[in-house]
């Protein structure tokens, strides 16, 4: 009978499946960090900050950085 998981703000009478926020939070942190790392390497590495020294990453993703609108020079 008990059917509420994490109750939506205005719980509707009809059953709507939701994803429990606590369970989702773990994934958001995990993937959020991964995504930030990926975005960093494409958008900013070896521009303002260099993680491996040199310009190989910068040069390789150079065109994507310009065309996807990230600051570059």
Q: What's the maximum distance between 2 C-alpha atoms anywhere in the chain?
A: 62
Asked if 59 touches other proteins (CB under 8 A), the answer is yes
Residues 6/20, Cβ–Cβ less than 8 Å: yes
Residues numbered 22 to 51 that lie near other proteins (CB under 8 A) are 23-24, 26-28, 31-32, 34-36, 38-39, 41-44, 47-49
Residue 65's H or E segment, with its range, is helix 62-67
Asked if 13 touches other proteins (CB under 8 A), the answer is no
Tokens of 36: 């930030």
DSSP 25: H
Note the residues at the interface with other proteins (CB under 8 A).
1-3, 5, 8-10, 12, 15-21, 23-24, 26-28, 31-32, 34-36, 38-39, 41-44, 47-49, 52-56, 59-73
């Amino acid at each position: 009978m008990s059917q509420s998981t994490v109750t939506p703000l205005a719980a509707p009478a009809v059953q709507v499946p939701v994803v429990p926020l606590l369970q989702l939070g773990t994934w958001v942190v995990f993937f959020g960090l991964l995504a930030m790392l990926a975005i960093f390497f494409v958008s900013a590495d070896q521009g303002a900050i260099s993680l491996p020294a040199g310009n190989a990453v910068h040069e390789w993703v150079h065109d994507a950085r310009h065309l996807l609108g990230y600051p570059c020079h």
